[in-house]
Structure 1
Amino acid sequence: MVTTEQASIDASEFRLHVASESLRLFAERGYEATTVDDIAAAAGTSRRTLFRQFGSKEDLIFADHESLLDQVAEHLASAVDDDDPWWVVCEGAETVFAHFADNRDLAARRYAVVSQVANLRDRELVTALRYQRLFEEHLRRTRPDAPPARVVAYAAAVTAVHNYLLRQVSRGDADATAAVLNAELRRLWETLAER
C-alpha cells in the first residue's frame, strides 16, 4: 500500500525527472525543435500524462517549481508562534536554493534554455513573483501590524537576493553557496525585519 507521503515524494520526483529530461532535450535540440512526444519518450511516460500533469510544453521546464512552491507554502504554514516570521521567510528561500544547489546541472540547463527563449524568461519572472507573493502573504498573516511597504520590501529583497545567487549557481559559480545566501539573508533580516 502506498502512503500519502510516498505518493507525494513520488510525484515530486516525477516532476523533477520530467523537468530534467525536458531541459536536457531542449539544451540538445533547441526549445522549438523538441516535441512533447520527444519529452514523453525520454521521461518514460505518455504524451497524455504530460499534458494532464503539466498542461503545456512551457510548464515542463518549470515543473519542479510547482513542488517547490508547495514545499515553501507548507513551511510557512507550519511555522509556530515562537518562530520569527521574518526569518521563516528566509528559510523558505533557503529551501528553494538548496534544491537547485543540489541539482546544479539542472539549474545550468534551465538557465541556458530560458535565457534564449523570451516567453520562458517571462515565465521565470512570474514564477519568482509567486514565491515573493507567498512570502508577503505569510508576513501579512503573521505580522498584520507591520507596515505594508516593509512587508513588500522585505519579501522582494529576500526574493532578489535568492534569485541573484541562484543565477550565479546556474552560471557555474562555485562561490554561490548556501552559506553565502544565509549570510546575505541574515543581513536583510537584521536590517529590514520588524521585531
Structure 2
Amino acid sequence: MSVADTDPVVFRTRVVAESIRLFSEHGYESTTVDQLAAAAGMSRRTFFRQFGSKEDVIFADHESLLAQVDDRLATDHGDPWLAVCAAAELVFAHFVRDRELAVRRAQVVQEVPALRDRELVTTYRYQGAFEEFLRARLPDESPVHVVAYVAAVTGTHNFLLRQMIRGDAEATPERLRVELERVALALGAARLGEVSTPVADSGRQVTVVTYPAGTAPAEVARRVAEELGEG
C-alpha cells in the first residue's frame, strides 16, 4: 500500500503501521529494507533518508509526536508542572486513538531485544524534553526535584499506557489525568487546586482550602496544618 503524498504525521503513522505489519508477517530479521520502502511507496534511498534503519522506522511516529510535545510546552504559559502533565496526556491520547497499532508494535518489540532497547531510548527522549522545559521555566528549582517529578510523570504515563495496551478498561485518559494531578500535588504544583484566602475577623484569619477529588486525607491534613502554621 502506497502512503505517499499525505499529511506528514499521517504518512509517518502509516509507514509505521505497514512496517509493523511486515515485521509481524515475516519476522523482524527477515523483513528487508526494500520491502519496507516498497510498502511506503518510495525508493530505498528515500526510505533511508526519511526513516533511517529498520530499527528506526518502527518508532518513526514518535518523531512527529515529540515535535507536538515541544510545541505544546512552548505555547503553555501556565503552571510549568501542569504543562508537563498536559504534554504527557497528549502522548497518551495519541496511542489511545490508534490502540491497535500500539498493541501490534508492543508485540513486535517484545520479540526483538534491539527494539526493546530502542524503546527505552525513545522514552528517555520524552523525559529529556520535559526536564529541559522545566529547567528553562524554573531555573532556580532543584535539579533533583525536576528529575524526580519528570520520572514520576513518565512512570505514571508508561504504566497506564502498558495497561491500556493490555486491554485494561480503567486505563483511560481520564484516569491518567487524575493520577497526574496527584503527582503534581505531591511533587510539583504544591498549590494545585488550592485557594487560600485570609479573612479579617477580630484579628483572626480563616483559611479556606480546596483540593481535587481523590486527594488523600493525609495530604489534605498536612496542607491544612501548613496553612495554620503560616497563619
Q: Flag whether TM exceeds 0.5 (same fold).
A: yes
Residue in structure 1 matched with residue 222 of structure 2 by the alignment? none
Deviation at 1:194, TM superposition (A): 4.7
Report if aligned partners of 1:93, 1:158 keep a CA contact under 8 Å in 2: yes
Once the two structures are superposed, residues 124-165 of structure 1 have per-residue CA deviations (whole angstroms, 9 ceiling, x without a partner) of: 001101100111111111111111111000011111111111
Q: 2:67 aligns with which of 61, 65, 70?
A: 70
Q: State the 1:25 CA deviation.
A: 1.2
How far, CA to CA, are the matches of 2:154 and 2:114 in structure 1?
Answer: 21
In structure 1, how many angstroms separate the alpha carbons of the residues matched to 2:86 and 2:72? 8
Query: What is the rounded CA distance, in whole Å, between the counterparts of 2:110 and 2:141 in structure 1?
Result: 37
Which secondary structure does the structure 2 equivalent of 1:115 belong to? Answer: helix
TM value normalised by structure 1: 0.91
Who wins on radius of gyration, i.e. which is larger?
A: 2
Q: Which digits, 9 at most, give the CA deviation of each residue in 1:66-101, with x for residues without a partner?
A: 111111011111122xx0000000011111100000
2:200 corresponds to = none
Flag the structure with more relative contact order, 1 or 2, with Cα contacts below 8 A and sequence separation at least 6: 1
1:102 deviates by 0.4
Q: 2:50 aligns with which of 34, 48, 53?
A: 53
With normalisation by structure 2, the TM-score equals: 0.77
In structure 2, the partner of 1:142 is 137
Asked if 1 retains the 8 angstrom alpha-carbon contact of 2:79 and 2:189, the reply is no
What residue in structure 1 maps to residue 15 of structure 2? Answer: 18
> Given that residues 82 and 189 in structure 2 are in contact (C-alpha distance below 8 angstroms), is that contact kept between their aligned partners in structure 1?
no
Contact 2:92–2:161 (8 Å) recurs in 1: yes
Percentage identity across paired residues of the two chains: 60
2: distance between equivalents of 1:176 and 1:29?
A: 31
Q: Secondary structure at the match of 2:7?
A: helix
Q: Which has the higher helix share?
A: 1
C-alpha contact 1:108 1:169 (8 A) present in aligned 2 = no
Structure 1 residue aligned with 2:165, among 165, 170, 175? 170
Where 2:76 maps in the other structure, the secondary structure is: coil
How well do the aligned residues superpose, as a CA RMSD in angstroms?
A: 1.4
CA contact (8 A) 2:85 2:180 kept: yes
Structure 2 distance, partners of 1:142, 1:187, is: 21
Figure out how many residues of one structure are paired with residues of the other and give that number. Answer: 186
Is residue 98 from structure 1 mapped to residue 109 from structure 2 by the alignment? no
Matches of 2:174 and 2:44, distance apart in 1: 40
- Shift in Å, 1:64: 0.3
The alpha carbon displacement at 1:170 in A equals 2.1
Residue 169 of structure 1 deviates from its aligned partner by: 2.0
